[in-house]
Each structure stands twice: as C-alpha cells, then as structure tokens.
Amino acid sequence: MIPELGHFALILALCVTAVLGTLPLLGAHQGRREWIVLARPAAQAFFLLVATAFGALAWSFYSNDFSVTYVAEHSNSKLPTMYRLGAVWGGHEGSLLLWMFMLSGWTFAVAQLSRTLDDAMVARVLGVLGLVATSLLLFILLTSNPFGRLLPAAEDGNDLNPLLQDPGLVFHPPMLYMGYVGFSVAFAFAIAALLSGRLDAAWARWSRPWTTTAWIFLTLGIALGSWWAYYTLGWGGWWFWDPVENASFMPWLLGTALLHSLAVTEKRGTFKSWTVLLAIGAFSLSLLGTFLVRSGVLTSVHAFATDPRRGIFILVLLVLVVGSSLTLFAWRAPKVALGGSFALMSRETFLLAGNVLLVVACGSVLLGTLYPLFIDALNLGKISVGPPYFNAVFVPVMAPALFLMAVAPIARWKHADAKEMAQRLWIAGAVSVIAAFAIPLLMGGVTLLTALGFLLAFWVGGSMVLQIVRRFKAGVPPLSFWAMQLGHLGIAVFVIGITMVGGFQEEKDVRMEPGDTVLVGGHQFKFNGARQVMGPNYEASRGEFEVSKNGSVQQMLYPEKRKYFSSEMPMTNAAISPGITRDVYVSMGEPLEGKAWAVRVYFKPFVDWIWAGALLMALGGVCAVSDRRYRLRVKAAEAARITALQGATS
Amino acid sequence: MKLKFLIPLAMFAVLVGFLAVGLNRDPHEVPSPLVNKAAPAFNVAQLAAADKNFSPADLQGQVWMLNVWASWCVACRVEHPVLLEFGKSHAVPLIGLDYKDQRPDAMKFLATHGNPYDLSAYDNDGRVGIDYGVYGVPETFIIDKHGVIRHKQIGPITPEVLAGTILPLINELKKAS
C-alpha cells in the first residue's frame, strides 16, 4: 500500500510540474497575473508530493518490504538500519528519486526565499525548474520506477553492494546531488534572465547565494567521495580520474568559474553573457554526468546496471534541456549582454583569465573522459585514458590559475597599476620561492612538481596574509572578505596536501608472517597475525598491527578483509592512523600460505590537508552566503512586508 | 544574431552526435589482439585425469572450441545449458579450460550440472589464461584447422550467439582446407 502511495504521489508530482513548467512561464510572458501566481503554490505542492514519494520508498526499505523489486535488489533484512536508509539511493531508481527530491527541495526553497523578488521573475525561475522536473519525472516514471512490485515477494533481499555499506556512502550521494541539482537554480535564473531580457546586477545578486550554496554542497560531496575512496577501497589513492569522478568534478570547475564571474557581473555589470553561459554549462555538465553514469557509455568503477533505453531517454532529455537553452542563449545573449569596458591591466582581466583557465581545465577533463568514446565512435579502436593524461594536462592549466588567484584580489577594478601590485606582492613572491626549495629539500629531494606545488601554495597563502593585514588597518572586515580568503586558503592547503603526498609518500607491498616487521616512513609496523571476526552481515579476517616510532609503541591498527554473506566479493577495510602531518595506512591484501598475508603499508605525509582544504573552501562558501548584505536585504524585505500588512489591517 | 554566440550550441551538437553513436557501443567489449593469430601453445594436466596432459597441438588439423570456465563463475552457469546442448551435437571438439579453480570444486560442478566438454584442461594458476588474454570468465575461442584463433566470444554464449555467429563460423571453417 505504502509503495503504491509513493508511486501515486510521483504521478501527481508530474501533473503538478507540467503545470508549473508551462502556465507561469506563459503568464510571465503575457503578463497574466493569475498564471504567474500559480508558480509558488505549484512549487510547494511539487515538493510535498516528491517528499511523500521519497518517504514511501524510505519506509519500504526501513520495513524490509521485499515485495518491492528495488528494495529486494538493494537491501537485506540483516543490513543495519542506517545502511537500509542509505540503500534508498544505493541503486539507479532510488538515486534518481533522490535527484528529484533534491530538485523539489531547491524549487521549494526558491519559492519560499524569494519574497522580495518580483513575481514575474519568480514565475520564470520556478517555471524553468518545473520544466526540468517534468522531463526527469517522465524519465523516472517511464524507465526507472522504484516502486515496481515483485510478486511473489522475495524472502530476503539481495543486500546492498558491500562497497556502499559505509557511513561515508550514506552521506556522499545526498551531498553530491544537492550540489549537482543546486546548479539547476543558477541555470533557471540564467534562463529566466534570457527570457525576460533583464540581465542586470540585481539578477546576479539573486543568483549568487544560490550558486554558492550549491557549490558548497558539491565541494563537500566530492571531498566526501574522495575521502571514502581513500579509506575504503584500500588502494591508498584519493582521486583516480574515473569517469564518474570526472562527472562530478567538471560541474565543480565550471561552478567555481561561475561564482567568480557572477561576482564581476554583480559588482561591475560586465561578463554578462559569459556568466549566463557558465550557468547553463554548469547545469548541463550535471546532466551530462547523469547521462554518463546512467547510460553505461563509459566503463567506470561505478558500475551500474545499464539499459540502452535509459541511455536514449537521457540523451533526448539532454538535447532538449541543453540544446534549447543554448539556442536561447545564441538568440538572446547578443541583445542583453552589454557591459562596461576595462583596461587590459585590471581585476576584470585577471578574473576573466582565471575563468578561462578553469573552463579550459574543465574542457580537458571532458575531453579525457570522453576520448575513449570518441575514438570508438570513429572506429579508431578501443583505448582508455588514465591518470597520466589528466596529470599532464591539468597541472599546466591550473598552475597559472593559481598564480592569478594571488594577483587578482590585489588588482584594482577597471585599471590596475602593475608597479603598485609588485610593491605589495614582492614579499609573498620571495617567501614562496624560498619555500619552494627549502621545504622539498627538508623532506628529502626537490623535483619540479614539488617545487611548483610549494611555490604556488605559498604564493596564494602569502598574498592572502598580505591582504588580511592591509584590510585590518581599515577595521574589522565583513564576512564576505573572509569568504574569499578562506576559499583561497583552502586551495593553498589543498595544494600543500597533494604536493606532499605526491612527492613524499612511501609505500611498501610486503609478505608478512605473524611477528614480521616492516619500516615505512620512519614508522615500524609489526604484524601480530590475523583472526576471524563476525560482523552483522559479513565475516572478516582482522589483522593486528603494532605501530611504533623510535622504539615506543604508538598505536594498534586493525585492517580487515571482509567477506559479505550476500556476495563472494571480498572487501578491504584499511586501517588508518590519521594525523595532521601524516597518515599511516595499512591494508590487507590476499592471504598467503600458512598464516602469512600480503600487506600494503603506506606513509602519507599531509594527506588530510587535501580534505581540510576542501572543508576550508566550503567554509568560505558558507561565509559568502551568510554575509550581512543578504541578511540585511531579507530583513528589510520582511520589515517592508510587515509594514504593508499593518497598513492593510489598520 | 552574432555567430560567436552559436559556438556553444555547435559544440554541443557535435558532442551529442558522439554520445548517440557511443550509446550503441559496448565499452566492455575489448577486441582481442589474438584473433587471426596462432593459438598460444600450452601443456597442462587434464581436470578429470591429472596424470594426462592436454595441449592444443593434440587437435592440430581440426576445428575446435576452447571454453574458459570455472566453478566459481556465476555467468558460466548461465551459458552451461547452451554448452550442454552444443556438446551433444558433437559438431567440433569442445575443450574446457578450468581457470583458477580447485579440482574438487570443478569436478563437483560438472557432476551437478552436467559435463559438456570432451575434456577440460586444468589451469590452476591461471597462466594459460594470461596467454589467452582472459579477463573475464566465461570466454570462448574458436580455433581453425591450422591452429589459428578465428573468433573470441566474451561473456556467456547465448542461443542467439551460438546460432548466429558460432555455428556458421564453425561450418565455414570445417569446409575450408
């Protein structure tokens, strides 16, 4: 009964979004007030209905209703409750429903938080979101219904893929989807602006907090996924340039460019068409990511069941959404995109250059991701593109972008003075050159990449310190000042992390008998043997390792090799001793003859700085969103509304 | 309308073209470089009779089929009935290659599900599999009278594949000198 309710709610949601996607848009176009005011209630109903459907599916998982095919395929009565809820988005159908739930949530938020925006604009924005929702709801209902019944019901479920049975995986997809889908709001604002022909600073000011919020979630989602891969997969890496990882990274790159471009549009009224194009691009790449993940056109570690029918459907959807918005862009952008002029030496130029570099980086990731597909489609053979390509292309593109990150905030708008900037930045330059050679030397060897890494990290960090010192002379800075500083600090911290790990990590693959020791990165690891332990739905061989440094035992580590009852696939659970300046990492390979095991031991200096950097960036985003300017505006609007109400009642 | 504003749309159109073609391709299907090359030689013990060996040279001059299987392989169970049917026809010698398996498990598998093979070679450490570029089980090779691999089937043999590809090829190869 509950699953049918969910299914029914989803069908109703489709009817509502069909209205939301048409009447308010037409109403705004023709100035028909009774259609314009439909937008908000329709958005609210849309959210309630999708939330009901989502709740119904979650309930089916919680209550182990194995008469629902999707539940039977992705859950099991022995699965712990938290993972049963995580299993809601453990497969194709459920993750699409999660996508839709997020979209309805964002739509609802726009409807609730846009009281100060004029009604026609809100109607257009919500209408565009309604159109996106309609096409995706059609996709879910026609090809990927999560509420299909299995008759007779299964006695027990297949269980969730063991890889996904991890706290990180419970939070990673919702975060990521919040980000992905959040760009739909920036997209809707951009399309609404093109439709209305009003591409002004007010539009940029409204778009900004939404874009930033989506970007925060995407940043955290990607970081969570990377962290999860690091500690669960047991491969010791944190990024693999897998097509699905790239699918989430590309919208991030464009989203980052969009954040900066929006700032320019708001403050200077320039870059308008560029901003709109980035807003369309960021969301299009989110959709493309969905297509790549769900259609199986590329091989990936995120192997989902594929169905060509679904692939065609998503492709058509992609063509409709992206094709029509780019057509609209080609048609309308030349008319609305007039901006102020600026000199070659100006903050605008630096920001534009940084933006172009981000777009180029995104393009190179896209090219590398789709290259196997291009080559195959042209009948030139089968190839795969791996990390060497991405590292070779990505570093040269991002290095100048990082260089500009320290320069642009110092430069004046419209016309900057190179001499003045050099005077302000020379200390940062000197510090970064010294750091570039001194730190790698201390760590044991200078290479081009490590020197470059520290040079850029200290250049960005140094510029930041100089800016902060200067800013404090003028009084305590507002939150928006810290937003940029924290965001850029996050990048510097992140670069230090990847440079340290890339340049100075140590790794050993060894065969260990109980009692054997191995020395990695100044730490001694003693293997005390492995024993069998039982988990709720798996059994594991748990190894015991004694980690000591300079002769004193620091800590015990217990990596596991798990075998889940439901599948024969063994799972590695690495044991990690984290630290600010280093992680030590033990993962069990295969059991060898007797009591010996193949063991992989890593020493990873500063690896946690990678995720700390991402957290700082996200924190910067939080500062940007919660800046006083936005709060004040909300308060002023609230006050105006209350006055108006009082005026009406008295 | 200025032309430069059409550039994004044009780029997107090209991308869609490639994606549409890509949809009809299977990225998991890797063409084997071994097709039309001589089948790699090996000499390993047989599964049922550990004291006897098998080598492709034993079948020189005949068209034959090499099917890589294992008792732990789930997809092999899917193709097993098709192989049993094919084995009954005795069209060509059907040789199994029991890949990275334990002998008792493999024997039990054949006893339970039936044995379609004329004989199975026992590739305990998977070395023969490496020579043949096996990356997923089951895989099937068709080898002609001159010991040249003429076809590689990746994944289970379905009745359609058997009737549409494998049987016509076998008939053709048997007629050829």
Residue B3 has pLDDT above 90, yes or no: no
Q: Out of A280, A326, A330, whose CB is closest to B1?
A: A330
Whether B8 and chain A come into contact, CB under 8 Å, resolves to: yes
The residue of chain B with its CA nearest to that of A332 is: B1
The whole-number pLDDT of residue A338 equals 63
Q: How far is A39 from chain B (nearest CA, A)?
A: 29
- Exposed/middle/buried for A593, CB within 10 Å: 0-12, 13-18, 19+? exposed
Chain B positions touching A293 (Cβ under 8 A) are none
The answer to whether the peptide bond before residue B138 is cis (omega within 30 degrees of 0) is yes
Q: B102-133: per-residue pLDDT in tens?
A: 888 899 889 888 899 999 999 888 888 888 88
| Gap between the Cα atoms of A163 and A363, Å rounded | 31
Q: Out of A330, A334, A376, whose CB is closest to B9?
A: A330
| Gap between the Cα atoms of B122 and B44, Å rounded | 6
SS3 (DSSP) at A245:
helix
| CATH architecture entry for A1-165 | Up-down Bundle (1.20)
The residue of chain B with its CA nearest to that of A382 is: B30
The whole-number pLDDT of residue A639 equals 55
What residues does each domain of chain A span? 1-165, 166-355+377-386, 506-605
Q: Out of B6, B23, B30, whose CB is closest to A330?
A: B6
Q: Out of B12, B18, B31, whose CB is closest to A326?
A: B12
Whether B14 and chain A come into contact, CB under 8 Å, resolves to: no
CA quadruple A377, A383, A389, A394: dihedral positive or negative? positive
Tell me if A284 and B20 make a contact (CB, 8 A cut-off): no
Supply the pTM of this predicted model.
0.84
Which positions ≥6 away from A420 have C-beta within 8 Å?
Answer: none
The whole-number pLDDT of residue A461 equals 95
| Gap between the Cα atoms of A374 and A366, Å rounded | 11
Q: Out of B5, B15, B31, whose CB is closest to A333?
A: B5
Q: Out of B1, B19, B30, whose CB is closest to A331?
A: B1
The whole-number pLDDT of residue B93 equals 92
Whether B61 and chain A come into contact, CB under 8 Å, resolves to: no
First to last CA, chain A: 51
Chain A positions touching B102 (Cβ under 8 A) are none
Chain B positions touching A284 (Cβ under 8 A) are 12
Whether A333 and chain B come into contact, CB under 8 Å, resolves to: yes
Whether A639 and chain B come into contact, CB under 8 Å, resolves to: no
The residue of chain A with its CA nearest to that of B1 is: A331
Buried-state track A333-371, b at ≥16 Cβ within 10 A, e below 16: beebbebeebeebbbbbbbbbbbebbbbbbbbbbebbbe
Tell me if B23 and A277 make a contact (CB, 8 A cut-off): no
Tell me if B27 and A382 make a contact (CB, 8 A cut-off): yes
The whole-number pLDDT of residue A648 equals 44
Q: How far is A360 from chain B (nearest CA, A)?
A: 14
The whole-number pLDDT of residue A589 equals 83
Chain B positions touching A370 (Cβ under 8 A) are 15, 18
Chain B positions touching A281 (Cβ under 8 A) are 8
The whole-number pLDDT of residue B160 equals 84
Q: Which of A152-166, A611-625, B17-31, B159-173 comes out lowest in average pLDDT?
A: B17-31
The whole-number pLDDT of residue A635 equals 54
Tokens of A104: 């309805």
Whether B18 and chain A come into contact, CB under 8 Å, resolves to: yes
Q: Out of A291, A308, A382, whose CB is closest to B31?
A: A382
The residue of chain B with its CA nearest to that of A331 is: B1
> How many residue pairs bridge chain A and chain B with CB atoms within 8 Å of each other?
72
DSSP string, chain B: --GGGGHHHHHHHHHHHHHHHHHTS-TT-PPPTTTTSBPPP--EEBSS-TTSEE-GGGGTTS-EEEEEE-TT-HHHHHHHHHHHHHHHHTSS-EEEEEES--HHHHHHHHHHH----SEEEEETTSHHHHHTT--SSSEEEEE-TTSBEEEEEESPPPHHHIIIIIHHHHHHHHH--
Chain B positions touching A312 (Cβ under 8 A) are 23
Chain B positions touching A323 (Cβ under 8 A) are 9, 12-13, 16
Whether A367 and chain B come into contact, CB under 8 Å, resolves to: no
Residues 102-141 of B with CB under 8 A from A: none
The whole-number pLDDT of residue A451 equals 95
Whether A334 and chain B come into contact, CB under 8 Å, resolves to: yes
The whole-number pLDDT of residue A234 equals 63
The whole-number pLDDT of residue A371 equals 87
The whole-number pLDDT of residue A644 equals 52
The whole-number pLDDT of residue A649 equals 41
Whether A293 and chain B come into contact, CB under 8 Å, resolves to: no
The whole-number pLDDT of residue B141 equals 92
Q: Out of A280, A299, A318, whose CB is closest to B28?
A: A299
Chain A positions touching B5 (Cβ under 8 A) are 273, 329-331, 333-334
Q: ipTM, 2 decimals?
A: 0.83
- Optimal mutation site among B23, B125, B135, B154, interface A, most CBs of chain A within 10 A: B23
Chain B positions touching A311 (Cβ under 8 A) are 23
Whether B33 and chain A come into contact, CB under 8 Å, resolves to: no
Residues of chain A below pLDDT 70:
233-235, 295-308, 337-340, 567-569, 628-650
The whole-number pLDDT of residue A367 equals 92
The answer to whether the peptide bond before residue B104 is cis (omega within 30 degrees of 0) is no
The whole-number pLDDT of residue A71 equals 92
- For residue A101, which of A196, A180, A163, A215 has the smallest C-alpha distance? A180
The whole-number pLDDT of residue A15 equals 97
Q: Which long-range contacts (CB under 8 A, 24 or more apart) does A519-525 make?
A: A520/A584, A520/A601, A520/A602, A520/A603, A521/A582, A521/A584, A521/A603, A521/A605, A522/A549, A522/A603, A523/A547, A523/A548, A523/A549, A523/A554, A523/A584, A523/A603, A524/A548, A524/A549, A525/A557, A525/A584, A525/A586, A525/A601
Q: Out of B6, B21, B23, whose CB is closest to A312?
A: B23
Tell me if B8 and A330 make a contact (CB, 8 A cut-off): yes
Q: How far is B24 from chain A (nearest CA, A)?
A: 8
Q: How far is A227 from chain B (nearest CA, A)?
A: 28
| Gap between the Cα atoms of B70 and B62, Å rounded | 25
- Optimal mutation site among A280, A313, A318, A326, interface B, most CBs of chain B within 10 A: A326
The whole-number pLDDT of residue A213 equals 96
